[in-house]
Structure 1
């Protein structure tokens, strides 16, 4: 299975800076053995697509979507609209949206299904809070999030196959990364839920990423850990040169 590295810019970079980032990143010496994607703000999708042209690296992604094609949903963006920009994947259920905007497991599930219908790969984000982590409830939380995410009919395989990103909230931007061993254990929990919903074979084919305080010095250790199929990078992706270095560090030796 090819590893997948995704840059999540979060709320950074308007169209001008987005285009400059893409152009600078494409000048980096990028490994061909891994898949690379960048999730940009909606306002920067056109500029990013223009700078990418027909290039396949990096893959263009969005950070959120709605579950309806159109309608009276002020401020929302539909999967079909994203598809017009050539968006290939989209994050759903990121902890920052769950925390600050009240996004629920049901919303996440509906968004994932709608994205797949539009031919866009959903990257479902799950992760436990620091309180749940300290109380030994991480596994319980992750199982509940995953079961809910799969409850609305999302497909694990197909033309827009499911991707899952495990991002423990307590590790995001805190310089307190979850250890590779701990991440592996939680990835096993996620894969177990997928296997029960579909099959063991299908579960083995779903890419599960880890995210949370990863940089170019630590990425190789995570990706060499069994069961970790890629990484979701936040702050370390804002500098195209640093992200290029991180991608090279992630390539198999």
Structure 2
């Protein structure tokens, strides 16, 4: 039975005071809830601060990226060793913003995935198509390529520390193009089938696949109740503790406050 997994990606948001307040509110709101996994991924400058607040709680610490070397002359980059030293358990890799705005290739993302897993981090690998690719009937081919290239060389032993986040790029922060629960379910089924072809059916059944296209309290229950939708990678809504907690509650099947 796959546990629901909800992750808050704070992106390039928050100040010191805001990060402290947000992390504290999330920890207090989660309490002893253990029916699913919850993590938050603050910006690099606030990892240590947020990590201290999360200690001893049910909320894990994650990072938004890394560089695929343990150390070296890579000015401005952050290594997996540094993330582990700060208490990070998870790292997001291949996020659509890094693919499309920072031009990260499938090969570079694959290097990150393999190095992160080898270091002992748990990887959230993001995949997803643009609106032009979807309209051109290329969505499945894009997912096949991103999964095949992104997971090349990953050992079967490391799969237990890997989850996949489906990010329809056309639905992220886009009021005009929201993915329906059925579209999310269909894409997750494609990902699970392809994962089974890359590895095996048992690994595919165990794979946690999150949805990451503008998850809000208003649509969370409809999305997270769909078969094969195992959680959410939450962007904007994760910057509001009440909204993020409502999504977590939707994931574990608990109604929010009336």
Q: TM-score, normalised by structure 2?
A: 0.93
Q: Where does structure 2 lack aligned partners over 5 or more consecutive residues?
A: none
Equivalent in the alignment of 2:168: 168
Mapped partners of 2:81, 2:160: distance in 1: 14
Q: CA RMSD in A?
A: 1.5
Mapped partners of 1:14, 1:247: distance in 2: 24
Deviation at 1:155, TM superposition (A): 3.8
Secondary structure at the counterpart of residue 165 of structure 2: strand
Contact kept in structure 1, 2:159 and 2:203, CA below 8 Å: no
Equivalent in the alignment of 2:231: 230
Deviation at 1:193, TM superposition (A): 1.8
Runs (4+) off by over 3 Å: 155-160
Deviation at 1:14, TM superposition (A): 3.2
Equivalent in the alignment of 1:193: 194
Deviation at 1:247, TM superposition (A): 1.4
Mapped partners of 1:144, 1:188: distance in 2: 16
In the TM superposition, what are the counterparts of 1:49-198 in structure 2 within 5 Å? 49-55=51-57, 57-151=58-152, 153-155=153-155, 157-158=157-158, 161-175=161-175, 176-198=177-199
Contact kept in structure 2, 1:155 and 1:162, CA below 8 Å: no
Q: Where does structure 1 lack aligned partners over 5 or more consecutive residues?
A: none
Q: TM-score, normalised by structure 1?
A: 0.94
Contact kept in structure 1, 2:68 and 2:80, CA below 8 Å: yes
Secondary structure at the counterpart of residue 182 of structure 2: helix
Mapped partners of 2:192, 2:30: distance in 1: 33
Mapped partners of 2:60, 2:34: distance in 1: 13
Secondary structure at the counterpart of residue 49 of structure 1: helix
Mapped partners of 1:156, 1:180: distance in 2: 30
1:29/1:50 Cα in 2 relative to 1: closer, same or farther (>3 Å)? closer
Secondary structure at the counterpart of residue 101 of structure 1: coil
Contact kept in structure 2, 1:16 and 1:47, CA below 8 Å: no
1:47/1:9 Cα in 2 relative to 1: closer, same or farther (>3 Å)? same
Post-superposition Cα deviations, 1:181-200, rounded to whole Å, max 9, x if no partner, equal 11111111111221112100
Post-superposition Cα deviations, 1:64-123, rounded to whole Å, max 9, x if no partner, equal 001111111111111011000110000001010111111111111110111111111010
